[in-house]
């Protein structure tokens, strides 16, 4: 991914900023770019994987950072992800509740089986949007904020995220033209300290939208 690619500013006020993080760039690079553009310190309150695109929040002062972190810790922020997973997910709606810990075989992975060290509770709700050939398009709603949670959870139930080289395992499958996991942080909704309810949305980026168009076209 080109390092010149900028993160779109979705929303900002005197206390916080929401950006649409491009895929393929490191979190710290996005932070550095936007701090330079904004002219003030931006304080991260959560993270996205390098190859995951979408909404990411920053605070502009410590009071707001503490407030937003308390919302995340209290599970009072609703996060919606769009993901394409391998295979046909049987239930149209469901919940994956499996504790995660580091993998015994690969230190980079967080897994539900074959794990070591401290386990952390993890819960992901989901809703199927569409069945597309060998894949299922769905919305995922992580209720906890564990590292790689969505990727690990769907891999654990036999439906890894499409094109996920870390968690795909024997079921790795990648649509033509895609070079990263199909995972996008589509929206975040929460009550701001002002009392206003904010819903911040990020459109599906061109690479993921293009994959869906190519997959759906032969079926239509």
Residues catalogued as catalytic: 49
Q: Where are the alpha helices (DSSP H) in the chain?
A: 27-38, 62-73, 149-156, 206-216
DSSP 77-96: SEEEEEEEEES--SSSEEEE
Q: Give the C-alpha distances (Å, rounded to integers) separating 23 from 60, 96, 177, 198, 209.
A: 23, 26, 14, 24, 13
| Token code pair at residue 49 | 């994987």
Q: Please state, in angstroms and rounded to a whole number, the distance separating the CA atoms of residues 22 and 39.
A: 21
Q: Please state, in angstroms and rounded to a whole number, the distance separating the CA atoms of residues 32 and 197.
A: 28
Given a contact cutoff of 8 angstroms between Cβ atoms, the answer to whether 207 and 23 are in contact is yes
Q: Please state, in angstroms and rounded to a whole number, the distance separating the CA atoms of residues 59 and 79.
A: 17
Q: Quote the Cα angle for 100-110-187, to 5°.
A: 85
Terminal Cα-to-Cα distance of the chain (whole angstroms): 31
């Amino acid at each position: 991914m080109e390092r010149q690619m900028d993160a779109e500013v979705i929303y900002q006020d005197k206390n916080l900023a929401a950006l649409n993080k491009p895929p393929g760039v490191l979190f710290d690079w996005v932070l550095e770019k936007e701090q330079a553009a904004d002219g003030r310190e931006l304080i991260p309150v959560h993270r996205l994987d390098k190859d995951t695109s979408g909404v990411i929040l920053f605070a502009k002062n410590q009071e707001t950072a503490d407030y937003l972190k308390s919302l995340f810790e209290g599970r009072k922020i609703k996060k919606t992800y769009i993901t394409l997973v391998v295979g046909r997910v049987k239930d149209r709606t469901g919940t994956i509740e499996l504790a995660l810990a580091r993998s015994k075989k690969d230190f980079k992975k967080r897994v539900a089986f074959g794990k070591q060290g401290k386990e952390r509770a993890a819960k992901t709700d989901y809703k199927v949007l569409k069945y597309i050939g060998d894949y299922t398009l769905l919305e995922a709603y992580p209720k906890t904020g564990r590292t790689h949670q969505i990727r690990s959870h769907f891999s654990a139930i036999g439906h890894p995220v499409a094109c996920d080289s870390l968690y795909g395992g024997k079921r790795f499958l990648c649509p033509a033209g895609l070079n990263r996991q199909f995972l996008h942080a589509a929206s975040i909704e929460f009550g701001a300290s002002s009392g206003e309810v904010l819903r911040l949305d990020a459109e599906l980026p061109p690479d993921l939208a293009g994959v869906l168009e190519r997959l759906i076209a032969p079926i239509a």
